[in-house]
Amino acid sequence: MKKYTSVILFMLASTSINAQDKIYFNDDSTLETKISAVSETDIQYKRFDNLSGPTFTIGLENINMIVFENGTHQIINVRPKKIVSSRNNSSGQRRNRFNGDLLAIGSSGPTSISYERLNSDGSRGVETALNVYFNSDVGVIGSTIGANVKYYVGSGGGGKGFYIGPSFSVGVFSFEQPDDDGYSDSFSVWAGVKLGQQFQLSDLFGINLAGNLGTYSDFDVLIVGYSINLGVNFTF
């Protein structure tokens, strides 16, 4: 800071009494002035359009650059470029989330754990999910891997609030056989819709309330399933 002060004082001494100095502030504003004094921490100046008016003082930490009447300039503070981590979006919002929708009620509907990636403004998330399907009479009836698209609406994005979107997965389901022959496993497809409410208690932690409605089929039998899930999420 001392070397900046010395350079500025030298330049001030070399300018004429009517020199016009321009101060460029860190907020991108500019002011035409006549600088009268410089210390290690601030600059005193008069507005060039009112040289008989009051003397103002501004801290050097608020100044980006001074351009003197003769065209020379002195950089006071170099503003670093903003670097946005790939983990965050352009506003600093975290974009990666682990969801665990573990407590569930329903019939032939999914409960899942998933990784969700939010888009740049948090208005949409894409989940990669591992799902287990259950039935109160039989227990676990299927397992799949799939994807859910979640559109966050009515909350300005940010990956929170109400969401709704399609879900699709593939895996194995158990189907009851005719004539009391028990159950057999078949490759099947689940297609449906997922909706719910994402309650973010902090930047890192939240609570999920989700509902799932859809059908699964082995291309021979079509069965409707649903579930209501309560879970947690961790954002990073």
User: Going from the N-terminus, what domains does the chain have, and what CATH number goes with each?
Assistant: 2-75 (2.30.30.100), 96-235 (2.40.160.20)
pLDDT in tens, 188-216: 999 999 999 988 888 889 999 999 999 99
Please name the helix (run of DSSP H) or strand (run of DSSP E) that holds residue 7, with its range, or none: helix 2-14
pLDDT of residue 13: 46
pLDDT in tens, 136-157: 777 888 999 999 999 998 766 6
Nearest in space to 15 (alpha carbons), one of 66, 91, 75 = 66
Q: What gap in Å lies between CA 136 and CA 128, rounded to an integer?
A: 26
Compute how many other C-beta atoms are within 10 angstroms of the C-beta atom of residue 228.
17
pLDDT of residue 14: 47
Q: To which residue do tokens 């019939």 refer?
A: 107
pLDDT of residue 236: 87
Q: What is the pTM of this model?
A: 0.60
